[in-house]
Copies of this chain bind each other. A is one copy, B any other.
Amino acid sequence: VRLDLALVGFGNVARRFVALLGERAARLEAECGITTRIVAVRTRRHGTAVDPDGIDPSTLLTAPGSLDGLSAVRAPASTADLIRQLAADSELRRLVVVETTVLDVRAGQPAVDHIRAALSSGAHAITANKGPVAFAYRELDQLARSRGVLFRFESAVMDGIPIFNLVRETLPAVRVIAFRGVVNATTNHILSAMEAGEPFERALARMQAEGIAEADPSLDVDGWDAAAKVAALGNVLMDARTTPPRIARRGIAGLDASMVQRARGRGRRVKLVASGSMAGGRFEGRVEPEELAGEDPLARLDGTSNALLLETDLPGRLLVTELDADLTQTAYGLVSDLVAVRRRL
């Protein structure tokens, strides 16, 4: 089956995704019955390429400057209009919108609007962004069901490591009662450095120089990224109907390195813990630094590892640990979403 892809956002994740589709093309066709064709690419600063006959991936990946020259047809200025135009093209019968725009994690935009436009016009939508599930899961899920299309977002938490698919596909008839995790790599790195005695500001500056932390580190160190993941996990796994601003949130900026270091000396670890649970029928989500006992499964993570502990009514507690977080993993999460679309057809 050929899936026609419209890439909305074309940064590092989308580029790695396109390359991965090429690298894994034979396996995807033989094992999953998928071939792909890229029919549109919308970028923020480098124009738009639209060609219903398909855009050559290697041309796309090596194009210098604007993509406008790769277009066979004129693209509307609005991305939502572009998506609707593509969805209305009867030649493109299995359109999948691949959403990877830069996210405003405090508002979920523009990803939520893009996904809404895709689903409401009958296209499948997959995204590496947390925003849509963190801010509007219930609406988008219902919209997808009502239109008979799929909305998937495996990369939103712990990259390509299956969390949402794990619960959906392999834990039938199970209730997730609570979860606790370390799900933000940047703060985990900074806390590991602080354990070695490096003050917060210096550790942060070093992470920024090494490209681990963003130029604007607030999303990570103030806990916004983790809060969006808590909302996403809560909404999808526990029907929490929450949003990131409703997650109790405290970051690591105020932490004293000597306190972190002393905890380590006593066999304890300070981690930015993201958690969610149901209390009296209401979801309670929380992001805050916690000093964990050495026996705590989350205390054993190194700087580069993320982990999520799911507490279920059966089969008990289940810990999933990601050891090699990188861009390719995030891109793989999108590939697994694409396979989910194929399986649903």
Chain A: residues with CB nearer than 8 A to chain B? 20, 24, 27-28, 31-32, 159-162, 165-166, 169-173, 295, 297, 300, 302, 309, 314-326, 328-329, 332-333, 335-336, 339
Contact at B336–A170, with CB atoms within 8 Å? yes
Would you list the 4 A-B pairs with minimal beta carbon distance, nearest first? Answer: A316-B324, A160-B315, A162-B170, A319-B321
Quote the shortest CB–CB distance from A52 to chain B (angstroms): 26
Contact at B302–A328, with CB atoms within 8 Å? no
- Name 15 extra pairs, CB < 8 A, besides A32-B172, A169-B170: A27-B173, A31-B173, A160-B314, A160-B316, A161-B315, A162-B170, A162-B171, A170-B170, A170-B336, A172-B335, A297-B300, A300-B300, A319-B320, A319-B321, A320-B321
Quote the shortest CB–CB distance from A331 to chain B (angstroms): 9
Contact at A336–B171, with CB atoms within 8 Å? yes
Closest to A295 in B: B302
Contact at A32–B300, with CB atoms within 8 Å? no
Quote the shortest CB–CB distance from A64 to chain B (angstroms): 29
Contact at A159–B315, with CB atoms within 8 Å? yes
A121 to B227, CA, bound (A): 53
SS of A interface (majority):
mixed
A119 to B315, CA, bound (A): 28
Quote the shortest CB–CB distance from A297 to chain B (angstroms): 7
- A166-B173 CB under 8 A given contacts A319-B320, A323-B318, A324-B317: no
A165 to B161, CA, bound (A): 14
Interface centre among A27, A161, A166, A172 (most CB of B within 10 A): A172
A318 to B336, CA, bound (A): 15
- A161-B318 CB under 8 A given contacts A171-B336, A173-B335: yes
A33 to B335, CA, bound (A): 29
Quote the shortest CB–CB distance from A206 to chain B (angstroms): 21
Contact at B172–A162, with CB atoms within 8 Å? no
Contact at A332–B320, with CB atoms within 8 Å? no
Contact at A333–B315, with CB atoms within 8 Å? yes
Closest to A316 in B: B324
